Amino acid sequence: MRAVSTPPETPSPRSLAREAAGLLLVAVGILVVLVALGAIHPVLSSSVAAAGTFAAFRFLAPPRTRLSRAVACTVSAVVAASAVGCAFAYFPLLGWVEVGASIGAAGVWLASEGV
C-alpha cells in the first residue's frame, strides 16, 4: 500500500500546462459540437449554446463580482434571445414552445427560491 501524499501548495509548471491543454481541448471540443449541430440545424445549435451558457455560468464558473454577474447575464440573455429568434425564424410554433418553456422555468425558479 502506497502512502498518500498531499499535493504541493504551488502547482508545478507541468500541471499548469496540463490544465491549460485540457481546457483548450474542452473549448475546441465544444466548438466542434456546436459547429456540427449548426450544420444539422441552427435552432438546435443555438438552443444547445444557450443551455451550455446557462450551465457554465451557474455551475462551472459562477460570477463573483457585480460586473462579472452583469456580463454573465448579458451573454446569457443574448444567447437565449438568439435561440428564440432562430426558432421563430424557422418555425414560429417552435419559438412559442421556447417562450413557454422559458416562462415555465422562470416560474419553477421563483417557486423554489424559498427552499
In total, how many domains does the chain have? 1
Give domain status of residue 107, yes or no: yes
pLDDT-based confidence at residue 94 (cuts at 50, 70, 90): confident
Residue 40 lies in a domain: yes
pLDDT number for residue 37: 80
Distance CA 20, CA 79 (A): 26
pLDDT band of residue 2 (cuts 50, 70, 90) is: low
97-115 mean pLDDT: 83
Distance between CA atoms of residues 104 and 71, nearest Å: 24
Burial 27-45 (b: 16+ CB within 10 A, else e): eeeeeeebeebeeeebbbb
Contact 98, 80 (CB under 8 A): no
Q: Which domain holds residue 40?
A: 15-112
pTM strictly above 0.75:
no
For residue 94, give every residue at least 6 positions away whose Cβ sits within 8 Å of its Cβ, in sequence order, or none.
43, 87, 88
Q: Is residue 5 part of a domain?
A: no
